[in-house]
Amino acid sequence: MVLYHAQAYLIDLINNINIREWSRLRRQGERSMETEDRREIIIVGLGASGLYASKAALNTDRKCHVTIIERRDYDQFSPCTLPFVLEGVVPDFESIKYQVPEVKGRLDKLLSHEVIAVDSTEKTVTARDLISGKEKVIGYDSLILANGASPITLPVPGARELSGKGVHFVSDPENTARLMDAAKGSRMKRSVVVGGGAIGLEVAVALHEMGHEVVITKRTEPPLPRNLDPQMGKYIVERLESLGIRCTFGKGIDSINGGDRVESVTIAGETIPCDIVVMAVGMRANTSLAEMAGCRILNGLVLVDSRMRTSVPDVYAIGDLVMTYSRIDRTAATMQLATSAFREGMAAGTNAAGGSTRYPGALNTFLTVINGLEIAATGYNLKKAQELGYDAAAISTKGEIKPHYMPGSTEIHLRVVVEKDSGRILGAQAIGEKGAAWRINIFALAIHGGMTLYDLLDAELAYNPPVSQMYDPVIRLAEIGLKRLRLPPGECGDPFFPDGTGDA
């Protein structure tokens, strides 16, 4: 399988940090060793959001001091790449780790430390060294909570009892390495993956590539229900089943069975022998520190404003912790993606250091790759749009990504969600061997710009037979949509005859 950089977006972001920029910040730190009157910023957590919060803070206030507190004994890793290490596409877990450059005098990292107390009145945090057990109290002017989320365990019999005894998670290099070892040493070579999100789908394919007989199950139908409509989800099921992976979407798991080890699962009354179960049913925000600080919580997520400020003065929250909002209409939404997290981090770091900027909201622009199949989406699917009160419709098409006579031409499926009366684009979905990712990026920009099907129809896209169609499926979809919705034909102005005299 080809590993697309977009799928490992976090590691790409890290690698794209300008090292010269860090060097400049380091030199500034050496010139500004004075500690008087400098702003103290504490960041809890060193994921994508925490990393970019630190960079933004250091750039905004050239005298501030940043302390990052992280439980791990290493700086960074790419969560999105974990299934691809499991599959063998990426050679090892060390490849996806990254060390944040030091900025002498301005940036301190407390690795192998955890925050055990937050006092937002005194503006202090208490950190414990996980190796020595020693504790220290650190004062702050601004506190940024970026301590992420933890994998959810389904409340079914056997799930907790057999955790570590055949029940596995994929959320960090350590638990993924344990799964890899268990899969290699499995006696049955039979695995069940619980969950139909990106991680669940990717792990199912990875275990299949490791020689396992795989069943994937999810109580709701189809896979990726937050991103795709059922009409698009069926193509994922077809791909999985073509590999020999059994799909039981819409049934869910009743119990995990076994004594000292996992021996089977029960799905809709059927007992399925296995010795590995992977829980991939989502993540729960780690809100305990936010609660300790007195931040307002809603539906298990920290409430923030557009500057990433919580309800407590000088306390910010970012990443998987927060309830954010849609860029389309500012509706509250959960966006646990690296692409959202780093923008939230930039906003929080800038504001915490005395600058002024706003987080623009997210479109939930999404991409995964399973067995070479690109699956991408942005904005709302039809169900979500209708739930939010839009009089919406969805239009689908399929087409070749380049002329049929060119080698390597493959089929792509496209679907767009629009307002019926205006043709305004609210969301889009794309699935294909190639080209789904960049076409979804077109739709994401279209939504960001408030564009309609008329605008898309008039778009001029690059064409050359080895890589694209002159009449691209995106343009064709816009034309089909306007006809289906019976919207009047659009007109563009004539730059040579603005008064219409050229119409003969």
Q: How far is CA 96 from CA 2, 14, 77, 345, 375, in A?
A: 16, 10, 5, 21, 23
Instruction: Please give the structure tokens belonging to residue 204.
Output: 């199912």
Answer whether residue 195 is part of any domain. Answer: yes
CA within 13 Å, CB half, 284: 9
pLDDT tens-digit series, residues 128-173: 999 999 999 999 999 999 999 999 999 999 999 999 999 999 999 9
Helix (H, G, I), strand (E, B) or coil at 111: coil
Answer whether residue 157 is part of any domain. Answer: no
Q: Are residues 416 and 471 in the same domain?
A: yes
The parent domain of residue 129 ranges over 9-150+284-352
Q: pLDDT of the chain along its 504 residues, tens only?
A: 433 344 444 444 444 555 556 555 555 555 455 556 899 999 999 999 999 999 999 999 999 999 999 999 999 999 999 999 999 999 999 999 989 888 888 999 999 999 999 999 999 999 999 999 999 999 999 999 999 999 999 999 999 999 999 999 999 999 999 999 999 999 999 999 999 999 999 999 999 999 999 999 999 888 999 999 999 999 999 999 999 999 999 998 999 999 999 999 999 999 999 999 999 999 999 999 999 999 999 999 999 999 999 999 999 999 999 999 999 999 998 888 999 999 999 999 999 999 999 999 999 999 999 999 999 999 999 999 999 999 999 999 999 999 999 999 999 999 999 999 999 999 999 999 999 999 999 999 999 999 999 999 999 999 999 999 999 999 999 999 999 999 987 755 556 666 655 544
Q: Are residues 384 and 423 in the same domain?
A: yes
Concatenate the DSSP letters of all residues of 396-426 into one string: EEEEESS-TTSTT--EEEEEEEEETTT-BEE
Q: Are residues 134 and 182 in the same domain?
A: no
CATH number at residue 254: 3.50.50.60
The domain boundary residue, chosen from 239, 265, 281? 281
**Per-residue model confidence (pLDDT) at position 222:** 86
Report the C-alpha gap between 26 and 5 in whole angstroms: 29
Q: Are residues 465 and 423 in the same domain?
A: yes
Q: Are residues 270 and 322 in the same domain?
A: no
CA 63 to chain centre: 33
In one-letter notation, the amino acid at residue 363 is L
Nearest CA among 167, 147, 149 for reference residue 157: 167
- What is the 3 state secondary structure string of 485-502? CCCCCCCCCCCCCCCCCC
Q: Are residues 179 and 259 in the same domain?
A: yes
**Per-residue model confidence (pLDDT) at position 17:** 53
How deeply is 189 buried, as exposed, middle or buried, from its count of CB atoms within 10 A (0-12, 13-18, 19+)?
middle
**Per-residue model confidence (pLDDT) at position 315:** 99
CA 341 to chain centre: 8
Whether the Cβ atoms of residue 373 and residue 432 lie closer than 8 Å to each other: yes
Nearest CA among 431, 487, 482 for reference residue 456: 482
- In degrees to the nearest 10, what's the CA dihedral of 95, 98, 99, 103? 150
Instruction: Please give the structure tokens belonging to residue 385.
Output: 């749009």
Q: What percent of the chain has pLDDT over 90?
A: 86
Q: How far is CA 324 from CA 144, 308, 355, 371, in A?
A: 16, 9, 20, 32
The domain boundary residue, chosen from 281, 300, 329? 281
pLDDT tens-digit series, residues 220-277: 888 999 999 999 999 999 999 999 999 999 998 999 999 999 999 999 999 999 999 9
Q: What is the number of other CB atoms lying within 10 angstroms of the CB of residue 235?
A: 20
Q: Are residues 302 and 265 in the same domain?
A: no
Q: Are residues 227 and 247 in the same domain?
A: yes
Whether the Cβ atoms of residue 345 and residue 321 lie closer than 8 Å to each other: no
Answer whether residue 498 is part of any domain. Answer: no
**Per-residue model confidence (pLDDT) at position 252:** 85
Answer whether residue 143 is part of any domain. Answer: yes
Q: Are residues 269 and 294 in the same domain?
A: no
The domain boundary residue, chosen from 352, 384, 400? 352
Answer whether residue 158 is part of any domain. Answer: no
Answer whether residue 292 is part of any domain. Answer: yes
Q: Are residues 277 and 212 in the same domain?
A: yes
Q: What is the number of other CB atoms lying within 10 angstroms of the CB of residue 287?
A: 19
Phi, psi of 117 (to 5 degrees): -155, 145
**In total, how many domains does the chain have?**
3
Report the C-alpha gap between 240 and 206 in whole angstroms: 12
**Per-residue model confidence (pLDDT) at position 34:** 52
Compute the chain's Rg from CA coordinates: 25
Answer whether residue 273 is part of any domain. Answer: yes
Q: Are residues 346 and 398 in the same domain?
A: no
Q: Are residues 23 and 129 in the same domain?
A: yes
Q: How far is CA 120 from CA 116, 136, 291, 316, 492, in A?
A: 13, 16, 11, 11, 57
Helix (H, G, I), strand (E, B) or coil at 301: strand
Average pLDDT for the chain: 92
Answer whether residue 495 is part of any domain. Answer: no
